Amino acid sequence: MASREAVPLQGKPLVLVVEDNADNMRLINDLLEVYNIHVIQAVNPAAALTALQKQKPDLILMDISLQGTDGLTFTRMLKGDPGTRDIPIVALTAHAMKQDRDNAYKAGCDGFIAKPIDTRALPELIHKFLRRD
């Protein structure tokens, strides 16, 4: 699965999902679109950077266990860049211990979602982080 370019609809929030597991990506995409949230898909940091050059999302959902550059390293990079530092980033991870949560926040994540994803709680949490201009 490659990065999927997205053009947000007027007033529809835009979320960049950086996730290398196709099943998780499909679940997140389908769930967010049901809640009228437009999704840009990226399977790795390189695809995410390409997407970020084209448009600035309202929120980034970041898988922590990415191949190559892991999600925490990529989060630190985004939070260190003036062009992306204000975008909220929510960590997605199957590693749900307190230390994992602490490491995500130390890297600059604004929130934390443990996998398997609670499909009932995800939309509410996402809306909490969405910025409305």
Tell me if 124 is assigned to some domain: no
Tell me if 39 is assigned to some domain: yes
Residue 10: pLDDT band (50, 70, 90) is low
Tell me if 22 is assigned to some domain: yes
Domain count, the chain: 1
Tell me if 99 is assigned to some domain: yes
Range of the domain at 64: 14-117
Q: Residues 6 or more apart from 3 whose CB is under 8 A from it? A: 40, 41, 42, 43, 47, 48, 50, 51
* Segment among 9-13, 19-23, 43-47 with least mean pLDDT: 9-13
Tell me if 64 is assigned to some domain: yes
Residue 14: pLDDT band (50, 70, 90) is very high
Tell me if 3 is assigned to some domain: no
Nearest-angstrom CA–CA distance, 52 and 128: 22
Tell me if 67 is assigned to some domain: yes
Tell me if 8 is assigned to some domain: no
Rounded (10°) angle between helices 122-129 and 22-34:
70
Q: Tell me the CATH number at 46.
A: 3.40.50.2300
pLDDT digits (tens, 9 = 90+) for 84-100: 999 999 999 887 788 99
| Portion of the chain with pLDDT greater than 90, in percent | 65
Q: Give the pair of three-digit tokens for residue 81.
A: 């860049």
